[in-house]
């Protein structure tokens, strides 16, 4: 099941798109687009899919999703028949990124926007604070709507309890170019060879470091151990194969570099909270549509 590329048209007289949906339920619509997306979901509960993250959401859910990241929400009808409400702001990457480059006042958004390529879920306090702003956007003029968007981004950037969703590697800009070059070289090698056995001493040699130094360097720069990083990459690739193919789980295990299916199942359950077969069942349930 491949994600669909969605074409986003800005709202009238605006540089970005704002829309409110009122739905009996949310259809599964696996898609991506080059815009940043802020999504506030109300009176709804179900599953939220962002990259290889599949999590339950409840009632008031506020998320930002970076450009090109596949995503969707999926819910059933509410028992009381009430409508589910979804507010969506879709913001062109070049427009928002240029604001950061041209106006120093926007610099504080940079970390959040960089991390948004993984998808970020915000705390209930932030989600509740977003409701009034989204509701005000419905009847606002384009200028006022822009002001409301800035207020929403400000609430989100200050949220200390925000959580990253999908496994995805990114570089912060506070590293020296030499460090970036070394890490890029190692990461590129891992991505090209993740289906094979990977050894720390070989990767340390690529970075021109001792093995012990390399372990410390890698953990500091990626905020995870080498083993954690490789397993997350392999599981992320496995999720894509589980979503996009009907290949047997044993074959996917082998294709993603695991030495046996038991190890694959154990690692998958540890990282995703479900087994590979349950993950595939959730994705391809009869109630979901392509």
Same fold, 4-164 and 177-283: no
Question: Exposed/middle/buried for 254, CB within 10 Å: 0-12, 13-18, 19+?
Answer: middle
Query: Which pLDDT score is estimated for 281?
Result: 84
Q: Which of 138, 148, 160, 131 is nearest to 60 (CA)?
A: 131
Q: What value does the mean pLDDT of the chain take?
A: 87
Q: Residue ranges of the domains in the chain?
A: 4-164, 177-283
Topology of the domain covering 177-283? Arc Repressor Mutant, subunit A (1.10.10)
Mean pLDDT of 137-144: 93
Name the β-bridge partners of 18. 89
Query: Which pLDDT score is estimated for 287?
Result: 41
- Percent of the chain whose predicted confidence (pLDDT) is above 90: 59
Query: Which pLDDT score is estimated for 1?
Result: 55
pLDDT tens for 249-267 read 999 999 999 989 999 999 9
pLDDT tens for 224-246 read 789 988 988 898 889 888 888 89
Three-state SS string across 154-169, please?
HHHHCCCCCEECCCCC
pLDDT tens for 168-205 read 543 333 344 566 578 778 888 988 898 899 999 999 99
Higher pLDDT, 113 or 10: 113
pLDDT tens for 19-35 read 999 999 999 888 888 99
Higher pLDDT, 248 or 177: 248
Query: Does the pLDDT of residue 136 top 70, yes or no?
Result: yes
pLDDT tens for 51-71 read 878 889 988 999 999 998 889
Under a CB-based contact definition with an 8 Å cutoff, are residues 18 and 39 in contact?
A: no
Q: Which of 279, 267, 207, 272 is nearest to 243 (CA)?
A: 279
Topology of the domain covering 4-164? Jelly Rolls (2.60.120)
Query: Which pLDDT score is estimated for 285?
Result: 55
């Amino acid at each position: 099941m491949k994600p669909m590329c969605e074409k986003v048209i800005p709202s009238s007289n605006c540089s970005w798109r704002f829309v409110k949906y009122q739905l009996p339920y949310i259809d599964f619509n696996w898609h991506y687009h080059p815009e940043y997306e802020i999504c506030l979901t109300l009176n709804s509960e179900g599953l939220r899919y962002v990259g290889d993250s599949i999590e339950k959401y409840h009632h008031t859910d506020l998320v930002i999703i970076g450009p090109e990241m596949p995503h969707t929400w999926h819910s059933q009808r509410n028992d009381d028949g009430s409508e589910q409400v979804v507010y969506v702001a879709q913001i062109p990457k070049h427009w928002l990124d240029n604001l950061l480059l041209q106006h120093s006042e926007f610099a504080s958004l940079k970390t959040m926007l960089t991390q948004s390529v993984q998808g970020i879920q915000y705390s209930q306090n932030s989600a509740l604070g977003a409701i009034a702003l989204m509701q005000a956007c419905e009847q606002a003029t384009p200028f006022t709507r822009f002001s409301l968007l800035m207020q929403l981004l400000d609430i989100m950037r200050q949220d200390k309890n925000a959580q990253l969703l999908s496994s995805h590697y990114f570089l912060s800009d506070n590293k020296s170019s030499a460090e970036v070059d070394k890490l890029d070289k190692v990461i590129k090698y891992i991505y090209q060879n993740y289906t094979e056995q990977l050894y720390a001493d070989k990767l340390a040699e690529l970075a021109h470091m001792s093995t012990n130094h390399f372990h410390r360097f890698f953990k500091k720069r990626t905020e995870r151990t080498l083993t954690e990083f490789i397993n997350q990459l392999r599981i992320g690739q496995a999720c894509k194969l589980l979503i996009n193919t009907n290949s047997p789980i044993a074959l996917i295990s082998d294709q993603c570099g695991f030495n046996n299916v038991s190890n694959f199942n154990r690692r998958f359950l540890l990282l995703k909270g479900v087994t590979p077969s349950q993950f595939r069942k959730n994705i391809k349930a009869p109630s979901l549509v392509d």
